[in-house]
Amino acid sequence: SATVVRTDDGALGVGGCDVRALAAEYGTPVYVVDEADFRARAAGFRDHFAAAFGRHGAHCDVFYASKALLSSQIAGWVLDEGLGIDVASGGELELALRGGAPGARITLHGNNKSDAELIRALEVGVGRIVVDSMTEIGVLDALAAAAGVVAPVLIRVTTGVHAGGHEYIATSHEDQKFGLSLATGAALDALRAVHASPHLELLGIHTHIGSQILSIGAFKDSAERMLRLRADFAAETGFEMPEVDLGGGYAIAYTPESESMDVEKASLEIADVVAQGVDAAGGGWPHISIEPGRGIAGPAGMTLYTVGVTKNVSLEEGGQRQYVAVDGGMSDNMRTITYGAEYTAAIASRVSSAPPVLSRVVGKHCESGDILVRDVQLPSDIARGDLLAVPATGAYGRVMASNYNSVLRPAVVGVRDGKSRVLIRRDTLADLLDWDVL
């Protein structure tokens, strides 16, 4: 994870920067992203998957799922490392373009894209549009015809593989909103429709089974079904689709007790399954791609808070719990309340020799579910003014932040080699008043 060290006097240092200096300069809460760690993770996916598929003489591209964390500077890091960028809205598309991404290296996702988003994608020459429904095939066909272009298409397939860390982030079983079903034949129908259209170019198929996945088996099942679909379509039409995108979802560790996906092992096993599928079909290799988001951004980021109020409450089962309230909360990290996600926390500004006690880190919002870290051991002398760090918040933190209770969304600060710079600036009171119409 982010390269965190203890400085001589016990404070945390990240990317060569003392957290106390970062808090003083940027205020808290603040998301801190270790650029070197982010880049190393991006390069790790790139190199492991290139090597694993390279053993079979094949290729694998990596697209960063920018919904995890995006700014134009971050898009620049991703492009530098040789990855493409996956966007899921017109807003993400503009940020990727602003970061210097050529249209050809962008993939556009979304289960309900607007006409405006599709028109913009065609205008900037997005490399792949992942279509998610028959409705969208009709719409895109008409828009491409009107623009006098041929739209590059991947079909999003629901493979029936049920995987993911939480029901809300499992995306390939039947009863959810994404994709075209393999089981019902909807995927095949969509393939036929796209293949038949002169305004659409069928590049291949895409699937994303879910997020925070720890089972390599789920990825293998999904890859196997995708390769079979490609073979079936080739048998029917004689057309071997050139591309298969296997999505993201590689789990990270949020707490010291939890596991992360072994990316190297996963790459090898997935490449082997795809190779078997290619052999069985007796045709040529498709170009494979994957789309990790959390696995790149998550561990590279942490959130720094300032402790305000502490109090001890009695537990029904006996004993006590220390409540530590910080200057942020569910507005900067929706994941605990939304998915029951687990995090850990530590005092960042000093070392304490007080005994650790059962604690809960909460925010400043007006509801009791405003919990950041449900259960964690923190020193009994933690007090107002201490800095608290919550690690592994680089993904799905700032991008899901809200202004609940009219709080100001925190800045995202990049650190590297002892230097820091703002990637996304903090909201200001002036912003807040500006959004209000008198």
Positions touching ligand LLP (CB under 6 A) are 65, 67-68, 86, 109, 169, 208, 211-212, 247-250, 291-295, 335, 339, 395-396
- Provide the minimum distance between the beta carbon of 170 and ligand LLP in the complex, in angstroms, as a whole number: 10
CB of 19 or CB of 87, closer to ligand LLP: 87
- Provide the minimum distance between the beta carbon of 331 and ligand LLP in the complex, in angstroms, as a whole number: 15
The C-alpha atoms of residue 277 and residue 281 are separated, in whole angstroms, by 6
Residue 294 assigned ligand-binding role = yes
Kindly report the CA angle at 171 between 239 and 52, in degrees rounded to 5? Answer: 60
CB of 99 or CB of 293, closer to ligand LLP: 293
The C-alpha atoms of residue 62 and residue 44 are separated, in whole angstroms, by 10
Q: What is the torsional sign of CA 309, 311, 316, 317?
A: positive
- Phi (first) and psi of residue 290, to 5 degrees: -135, 165
Residue 291 assigned ligand-binding role = yes
Structure tokens at 367: 């509801």
For residue 317, how many other CB atoms are within 10 A of its CB? 5
The C-alpha atoms of residue 87 and residue 64 are separated, in whole angstroms, by 9
CB of 163 or CB of 378, closer to ligand LLP: 163
The CA-atom distances, in angstroms, between 438 and each of 402, 404, 428 are: 22, 20, 18
Residue 152 assigned ligand-binding role = no
- Provide the minimum distance between the beta carbon of 71 and ligand LLP in the complex, in angstroms, as a whole number: 16
Residue 292 assigned ligand-binding role = yes
Q: What is the torsional sign of CA 390, 395, 400, 406?
A: positive
- Provide the minimum distance between the beta carbon of 54 and ligand LLP in the complex, in angstroms, as a whole number: 22
Q: What single-letter DSSP state applies at residue 9? A: T
Alpha-helix runs per DSSP H in 247-391:
263-281, 294-297, 335-339
Is residue 167 packed enough to be buried (19+ CB in 10 Å), middle (13-18) or exposed (0-12)?
exposed
| Annotated catalytic residue 366 | yes
Alpha carbon distance, N-terminus to C-terminus of the chain:
46
Residue 342 assigned ligand-binding role = no
CB of 11 or CB of 170, closer to ligand LLP: 170
- Provide the minimum distance between the beta carbon of 50 and ligand LLP in the complex, in angstroms, as a whole number: 18
* Gyration radius (Cα) of the chain, Å: 23
Question: How many Cα atoms occupy the beta-carbon half-sphere of 389 within 13 Å?
Answer: 29
Beta bridge pairs of residue 287: 243
Which one of 366, 429, 437, 438 is the catalytic residue? Answer: 366
Residue 210 assigned ligand-binding role = no
CB of 65 or CB of 75, closer to ligand LLP: 65
- Provide the minimum distance between the beta carbon of 335 and ligand LLP in the complex, in angstroms, as a whole number: 5
Name the 3-class secondary structure at 338: helix
Residue 179 assigned ligand-binding role = no
Phi-psi region at 137: left, alpha or beta (left = phi > 0; alpha = psi -120 to 50): alpha
Residues catalogued as catalytic: 366
Annotated binding site for substrate: 294, 335, 339, 367, 396
Annotated binding site for pyridoxal 5'-phosphate: 249, 291-294, 396
Annotated binding site: 249, 291-294, 335, 339, 367, 396
